[in-house]
Structure 1
Amino acid sequence: MFDYLPPLNDHNLPYPDTIHPIVVHFVIAMVLFAVFCDILGYFTRNARFYEVSWWNFFFATISIFIAVVFGQVEAGLAGPYPVAETTLNLHTILGWSLSGIIAAITAWRYVLRSRNPKSLPIPFLGVGVLLLGLVGFQTYLGDLLVWVYGLHTVPVVEAIREGILR
């Protein structure tokens, strides 16, 4: 069965480079912009910002599931060494959690939009700010995995293959 899989490159991937960060940056941008538009719409009383926010949440919900799937595949191929495993596990758990949280917030946003597309309650804005905190922490964990632990970078992949990192 494994004979049919493509060989892994020097990033330890079957394709040229990591896809997870590419997709996840769209999610980060869409969530940040959605919350920003909600806050801006609330203070300017311009309902057009709420519409922009809704569509950003909608596409962020779809995109985060794609990001999580590629994240799982790439985490499995990373061959994490013991020092990086705790951060990778926390990043994985929070990623799956955020996919559910963002989906729930989007569903709540849909209900609010259906009832009154021209206003948002303060608790929803508060949840948006909390969501920004979670996304920020998740981004920090992802940065650690790449910039500190070097997962999927050529020198680290070579060190893991040579048995230097265990």
Structure 2
Amino acid sequence: MFNFLTSLNEHNLPYPDTLHPIVVHFVIAMVLFAVFCDAIGYLTNNSRLFEVSWWNMCLATIAIFVAIILGQFEAGLAKPYEIVKSVLNLHTLIGWSLSGIIAAITAWRYVIRSRNPQKLPLAYLGVGLILTLIVGFQVFLGDELVWIYGLHTVPVVEAVKDGFLP
């Protein structure tokens, strides 16, 4: 049984495929949808959308830590070759930073919600826009790791194992 837990497949993972992208896509969707609901709620004076946004941010705050843990685990198994290390390091740094940023924004949102759940300050929407830009850049880096550098793809895993990639 322990051999199964320690053996790695053709993706260099102990399970069938990467889990980090699955969880992180939920985080991306929840954050972007929360910002969207805030903007529409602000423009239409529909405070029910603020409630939708609040719960999306709460779940995103929890899910980003799960995504980071899986990302750290899978990055450790990826055996990144030299050219990809700087992108992976930047992606990791921004990921950890986003966990703190999202947690802080969610805490701020809790204070706003506690004081007046019917109103949202314009500054909060501005921070939401900045958050959207940071998330967009993080998505770009993640896409680069998979679609350009091929982390956890079978040909790249084989090339690293065979010593073709330094």
Spell out the pairing of 1:1-166 with structure 2 (5 A cutoff).
Answer: 5-166=5-166
Question: Percent identity, aligned pairs only?
Answer: 69
Question: Which amino acid in structure 2 is aligned with residue 100 of structure 1?
Answer: G
Q: CA deviation at 1:6?
A: 2.2
Structure 1 stretches of 4+ moved >3 Å: 2-5
Counterpart secondary structure, 2:6: coil
Residue-by-residue CA offset, 1:21-56 (whole Å, 9 max, x unaligned)? 000000000000000000000000000000000000
Separation (CA, whole Å) in 1 of partners of 2:165 and 2:113? 51
Aligned residues: 165
Separation (CA, whole Å) in 2 of partners of 1:72 and 1:36? 29
Q: CA deviation at 1:3?
A: 6.2
Question: Which amino acid in structure 1 is aligned with residue 148 of structure 2?
Answer: V
Question: Which amino acid in structure 2 is aligned with residue 128 of structure 1?
Answer: G
Residue-by-residue CA offset, 1:92-139 (whole Å, 9 max, x unaligned)? 000000000000000000010000000100110000000000000000
Runs (5+) with no aligned partner, structure 1 = none
RMSD, aligned CA: 1.1
Runs (5+) with no aligned partner, structure 2 = none
Taking structure 2 as the reference length, what is the TM-score of the superposition?
0.97
Question: Which amino acid in structure 2 is aligned with residue 102 of structure 1?
Answer: I
